Amino acid sequence: MSWLKNHAASARAVAVVALGGLALSACATNQYVDEQIATVNSRIEQTDARVTAAAQRAEAANSAAQAAANDARAANTAAQAAATDARTANQRVDQLGGRVDTMERGPVRTPRG
């Protein structure tokens, strides 16, 4: 007879104990799970801090861009006002140019006699 037939009950018991031991050793302990969760939470906190810092930098850049846009609008308005003033001054110069030419020619004199 074969060895397995003679010791079948013992072999089954050994197999059940071996499988049970393997199954129980695969379970995670509370300490292991807590360590893993702590590691993940630490990474989440670091990522959250980076995201917060990036959002603050983006908000500051947005504020600076809006301030620059407002300054550009004010400069554009001032430039348009200056251009209008320059056009008005040029029109006055053109109007006075004819008068100055007349004055430079002097009065027309007729000879006596």
pLDDT tens per residue across all 113 residues of the chain: 565 666 677 777 777 777 766 666 656 778 888 999 999 999 999 999 999 999 999 999 999 999 999 999 999 999 999 999 999 998 888 888 877 777 777 677 777 76
Backbone angles phi, psi at 88, to 5 degrees: -60, -45
- Residues 22 and 16: their CA atoms lie apart, in Å, by 10
* Residue 18 confidence (pLDDT): 72
Name which of 67, 46, 48 is nearest 56 in CA terms: 48
